[in-house]
Amino acid sequence: MQTSPLDIKPATWRQDEEISIFSDAAGQFFERECVPHVQDWRKAGIVPREIWTKAGQAGLLGASISEEYGGAGGDFRHEAIIIEQLQWKGVDGFGITLHNAIVAPYIEAYGTEEQKRRWLPKLASGELVAAIAMTEPGTGSDLQSIKTTAKKDGNGYVVNGQKTFITNGQTANFILVCAKTDSAEGAKGVSIVCVETDEAEGFRRGRNLEKLGQHAADTSELFFDDVKVPADNLLGEAEGRGFFQLMEKLPQERQIVAAQGMGMIERALSETIAYVKDRKAFGKSILEFQNTQFKLAECKTEATVAKVFVDRCTQLLVDGELDSATASMAKYWVTDLQCKIIDECLQLHGGYGYMDEYPIAQMYGDARVQRIYGGTNEIMKVLIARTL
Ligand SMILES: Cc1cc2nc3c(=O)[nH]c(=O)nc-3n(C[C@H](O)[C@H](O)[C@H](O)COP(=O)(O)OP(=O)(O)OC[C@H]3O[C@@H](n4cnc5c(N)ncnc54)[C@H](O)[C@@H]3O)c2cc1C
């Protein structure tokens, strides 16, 4: 699918000619370099390392990193376009968005000048592949309760602990590790320590976890046993800022999940409309049954409402005005809708919808986690409820 099946006048932020050129270029890159291989990547459970380098050469990594730090100098609109193109083309599992739009912004926003100069150009080229490690076997939603520690030791930190469910976990060589620099404290004891894993003794990757969907994404356990990290690798100038840095940046992560959901909804609708026009039963196309028309009319209506809201949130984010509650609304509502629409679309495929070789079956598996990661949809409601 190249375009949206929705008939909406493009949001203002999309009307910039440069955005349209970027969208075409990103789409062509994914079409050429990824689409022919996606099914192999799903079987392998990982995307190959070379694709990161190719994306770096194509200017897609670091799309929103400033030019002075080796990036393309774009903003969140460019990331939103990458997300959309990945979803429209069904490129599941290439963790470029986590690298670009989740990890890099922490460095650009909170890193010291030296840290920005050291890491951002390598993130933009693909020399470094990024991950962020918050979740542990014993805690996910309750981030303040993490057990991983980063203890001051001479001129550095020693990191100990275990992380799980980490996206890009098998590939990443630059990991933002959320750890306690003061175990006696809750939120105030959390810091983010940047671990360059290529030469980190005591760092170990666990299993590439088998999942219900998103099979091409490598999702892993990570182990830190007395990993020595230079003091300069503490993100920012002071200890104990990690939780607050996360709270400031998580709205962007939630908007990303909403945008991913939106892109997949559009793909599911396109695939299904084409399928029901083609498939026949009782001498007519499936689309000619009024039930099919009503179901798809409902889906298209809800998708249209969602798209307007997601595009509005993108604009708010670009303007620096997307608050936590609004981002949470987008994340929870769009991902619930994503699962609902994909379920309806799968039903309209009949038995073929259950066959893994059909995109709708893959989308069904891929969509489910959207309600869980980036903060569960229940946690989104907790955040929204605080504004009541
Ligand atoms: C494919 C995948 C990729 C991921 N990628 C990453 C990654 O790159 N980095 C990373 O750090 N993490 C990652 N995660 C982890 C993800 O963010 C967590 O799984 C998620 O935050 C939930 O934490 P948990 O699994 O510990 O569930 P729990 O926190 O144990 O929650 C279990 C249930 O209890 C509910 N619950 C918890 N607290 C409350 C509350 N206060 N009120 C109401 N209900 C509540 C939850 O909503 C959920 O339904 C990934 C997870 C998956 C599955």
CATH architecture of 12-125: Orthogonal Bundle (1.10)
**Residue of 136, 211, 376 to test ligand 1 pocket, by largest number of atoms within 8 Å of CB:** 376
Among protein residues, the one with the nearest Cα to ligand 1's atom 27 is 140
Q: Tell me: the pLDDT tens digits for 67-78?
A: 999 999 999 999
CB 370 within 8 A of CB 338: yes
Fold classified for 130-240:
Butyryl-CoA Dehydrogenase, subunit A; domain 2 (2.40.110)
Which CATH superfamily groups domain 244-385? Butyryl-CoA Dehydrogenase, subunit A, domain 3 (1.20.140.10)
Tell me which residue has tokens 């946690």: 379
Atom of ligand 1 nearest to the CA of 141: 29
- pTM for this model (two decimals): 0.98
Q: Give ranges for CATH 2.40.110.10 in the chain.
A: 130-240
Q: Residue 67 to residues 7, 74, 176: CA-CA distances in angstroms?
A: 35, 8, 22
Asked if residue 11 has its Cβ within 6 Å of ligand 1, the reply is: no
Q: Are 276 and 286 a contacting pair, CB within 8 Å?
A: yes
Residue intervals of the chain classified under CATH 1.20.140.10 are 244-385
DSSP 3-state assignment of 212?
A: coil
Catalytic residues: 253
Cα–Cα distances in angstroms (integers) from residue 161 to residues 167, 176, 203, 226, 227, in the given order:
17, 13, 10, 9, 10
At which residue do the structure tokens 């968005």 appear? 97
- pLDDT in the model for residue 58: 96
All CATH 1.10.540.10 domain ranges in the chain, comma separated:
12-125
Best residue among 373, 380, 386 to mutate for probing ligand 1's pocket (most ligand atoms within 8 Å of CB) is 373
Which positions of the chain have pLDDT values less than 50? none
Cα–Cα distances (Å) from 89 to 29, 30, 94, in that order, read 11, 7, 12
* Model pLDDT for residues 327-366, shown as the tens digit of each residue: 999 999 999 999 999 999 999 999 999 999 999 999 999 9
* pLDDT digit string, tens, across residues 278-297: 999 999 999 999 999 999 99
